[in-house]
Amino acid sequence: MSVLLGKGTRVLVQGMGREGRFHAGRMREYGTRVVAGVGPGSGGTERDGIPMYDTVSAAAEATGANASLIFVPAPGAADAILEAVDSALPLVVCITEGIPVHDMLSVAAVIAETGTTLIGPNCPGAITPGECKIGIMPAENFSPGPVGFVSRSGTLTYEIADALTRAGLGQSTCLGIGGDPVVGLPTPDAVRLLNEDPGTGCIVIVGEIGGSAEERAAEYMRAFGKKPAVAFVAGRSAPPGKRMGHAGAIVSGGQGTAESKVRAFEEAGIPVANAPSEIPGLVKRALGA
């Protein structure tokens, strides 16, 4: 089983510039079915053997695409997301960083009324190892297995997936959801998907300071958790009131602190690693391995 993407996923790429073309190629090498590219005025052409279309709707109709990967620059990225949503694509992954929060609030309001799942923005994407990769993550760090994985940090996604793989702990689906203040698939919703996935035996939750997503995920798991879980919270040494890297990683007024997140996980019976290197051991213990 997989969450959101798998062998049947057919991907179109919005924004086939240098980055879009490079990662479309890497996805195809992995086995992902990249069926179309989209760019105004490019309809009827090809780029690297991928047919191009002027609009998402034209591409989806012609190719049966059911997912989009967005590399459109920040000023036009919100409109690109809405175009994919308007075409009723079930899954949209937006890599673009620097999208204004106001734009994403408008996008979130629209998506809430649709059946589309948005991953991102400012994220590495998602992967069901051995089946489908949508995004920019290094595929060699991942391997198939029972560990579901959600992370707000792109770099930690790669590092922890590699550590799990080296420990013989493959992954079911890994979701790099992004670290902006407003994301399409927040941590609690991603955790819920993995909790309901029959192919996931244990969930790794990688959070960071800022916001209350991790606390809400812990509350959900305490009430509805079917699977064992392990957590890690980045940013324990960050000073209050100072933005650290991600736009959403800011602590204010005693909220969103590493301490509050660790406490929430522990109260939900979820062990918290002190360092990423501890995660494989905790997962093995959770799985009874």
Q: Given 133, 152, 246, 261, which residue is catalytic? A: 246
pLDDT of residue 256: 75
Question: pLDDT band for position 96 (50/70/90)?
Answer: very high
Interval 128-185: pLDDT, tens: 999 999 999 999 999 999 999 999 999 999 999 999 999 999 999 999 999 999 999 9
CATH number at residue 101: 3.40.50.720
Question: In which domain, by residue range, is 238 found?
Answer: 137-289
- 23 classed as catalytic: no
Whether residue 102 sits in one domain with residue 149: no
The partner residues of 230 in beta bridges, in order of sequence, read 204
In a domain, 239, yes or no: yes
In a domain, 58, yes or no: yes
In a domain, 131, yes or no: no
Cα separation of 209 and 246, whole Å? 10
In a domain, 116, yes or no: yes
Cα separation of 136 and 94, whole Å? 11
Contact (Cβ atoms closer than 8 angstroms) between residue 258 and residue 231: no
Whether residue 274 sits in one domain with residue 152: yes
Residue 59 tokens read as 């591409």
- Residue with token string 């999208």: 99
Whether residue 288 sits in one domain with residue 184: yes
In a domain, 148, yes or no: yes
Interval 41-69: pLDDT, tens: 999 999 999 999 999 999 999 999 999 99
CATH number at residue 174: 3.40.50.261
Whether residue 149 sits in one domain with residue 11: no
The DSSP element (H or E) to which 157 belongs, if any, is helix 154-166
Global pTM value: 0.93
Counting the structural domains of the chain, the total is 2
Q: What is the mean pLDDT of residues 188-192?
A: 98
Q: What is the mean pLDDT of residues 198-207?
A: 97
In a domain, 128, yes or no: no
The partner residues of 62 in beta bridges, in order of sequence, read none
